[in-house]
Amino acid sequence: MLNQIVLVGRLTRDITVNKSDKGKVATLSLAIPRSFKNSEGDYDTDFIDCVLFDVIAENTSEYCKKGDIVGVKGRVQSRVVEKDDKKEYYTDIIAEKVTFLSSKKEN
């Protein structure tokens, strides 16, 4: 069986590392344009959040900023949270490796 995802996109914001009971945690958001046009003739963009932990979170926040292109290799993880006697289901992308591909050129 295989649970692996590879994403390449542009960072939509700067990354901030927070401390939690699980260590250092950061979330990055990738803008990934689709490879086909919609009915209006435009390319839609998907915005996908990824969760980073510890050293990966620290390095990515230090070396990458909004607009940079990065590659993320990771896994899909689902979880259930009970809130007010209701179950809420979440799907997360957990980054296992982040590759810095290019920086947005400043004018």
- Could you write out the DSSP letters of every residue in 10-78? EESS----EEETTEEEEEEEEEEEEEEE-TTS-EEEEEEEEEEEHHHHHHHHHH--TT-EEEEEEEEEE
Count of residues in the chain: 107
Evaluate if residue 90 carries a pLDDT over 50.
yes
Task: Calculate mean pLDDT across residues 34-48.
Answer: 94
Residue 63 CB neighbours (<10 A): 13
Cα–Cα distance for residue pair 66/50, rounded to 1 Å = 15
pLDDT score at 107: 45
User: Global pTM?
Assistant: 0.84
Task: Calculate mean pLDDT across residues 56-79.
Answer: 95
pLDDT score at 87: 94
pLDDT band at 27 (very low <50, low <70, confident <90, very high): very high
**For residues 26 and 70, is the Cβ–Cβ distance under 8 A?**
no
CATH topology of domain 5-102: OB fold (Dihydrolipoamide Acetyltransferase, E2P) (2.40.50)
Mean pLDDT of the chain: 93
